[in-house]
Amino acid sequence: MNKNISLTDLANKDYKETWDYQTDLLQEIVDVKISNRRNNLQEITKNHFLFVEHPHVYTLGKSGDLSNLLLNENQLKEKGATFYKINRGGDITYHGPGQIVGYPILDLENFFTDIHKYLRLLEETIILTIAEYGLKGARSAGETGVWLDVGTPFARKICAMGIRSSRWVTMHGFALNANVNLGYFDHIIPCGIRGKAVTSMEVELGKKVNAEEVKVKILKHFKTLFEVDEFVE
């Protein structure tokens, strides 16, 4: 099993271009797996981890409800935002500047074959990361992602998650609100959940956070939880 992960920071990159790139990486891994089974080979499969920041974009998961987008086409243009229906789980979310997006493209057969465990460890990665800033993140029953003040009238989401997998290969991932403009969330019903607020590390801490520092902490906890050998740049 290959427990090394190729790490790439795409900086600021268009959502569709990044989605296509993820799809290509996933397909390369799937092709190796198919070849191995057909030809009785044991070629190792690669794993990837992408960091990216997207220009303003709304994405709707395959089970999502379009009515959760509260803007029409002209209003999207006025906001400088784009919209895509995509092939991850979950409903609607927003990506934009100041948000730390992570896309692990892993062959889970190199780690463990359990999608539920995969999502819980992604959540735990973020919970441990924000804990280093004094923020107490938690899970909310039936609602994937990381929240603050769960079980109170003040529950608010700080990190959204949505994934897709094919032959145990993952794509898409998490979006941690670091220094993001939360006003863009006003134009959707985030994740299709009414009456739940969205927050950011900047709002909670009363100051901007260093995104590069946050990424280092994310990778540290991801490496421990997933028992990664090395991140290779």
3-class DSSP assignment, residue 31: helix
Is 146 among the domain residues?
yes
- Distance separating alpha carbons of residues 13 and 53, to the nearest angstrom: 6
3-class DSSP assignment, residue 180: coil
Is 194 among the domain residues?
yes
Instruction: Kindly report the backbone phi and psi dihedral angles of residue 33, in degrees, each rounded to the nearest multiple of 5, phi listed first.
Output: -65, -40
Is 39 among the domain residues?
no
Is 170 among the domain residues?
yes
User: Average per-residue pLDDT in the chain?
Assistant: 95
Is 38 among the domain residues?
no
155 is in an annotated binding site: no
Q: What is the mean pLDDT of residues 45-56?
A: 98
164 is in an annotated binding site: no
Record the tokens describing residue 215, joined without a space: 């990424």
Work out the percent of the chain whose per-residue pLDDT is above 90: 90
- Distance separating alpha carbons of residues 112 and 75, to the nearest angstrom: 44
Locate tokens 């100051």: which residue?
207
80 is in an annotated binding site: no
Q: What is the mean pLDDT of residues 69-93?
A: 93
Contact 103, 18 (CB under 8 A): yes
- pLDDT category, 189, cuts 50, 70, 90? confident
Is 41 among the domain residues?
no
- pLDDT category, 148, cuts 50, 70, 90? very high
Number of domains comprising the chain: 1
Tell me how far apart the 2 most distant CA atoms of the chain are, in Å.
57
* CATH number of 67's domain: 3.30.930.10
Which residues are annotated as catalytic? 191
pLDDT of residue 78: 95
Question: Which residue range forms the structural domain that includes residue 187?
Answer: 53-100+112-225
pTM of the model: 0.96
pLDDT of residue 195: 60
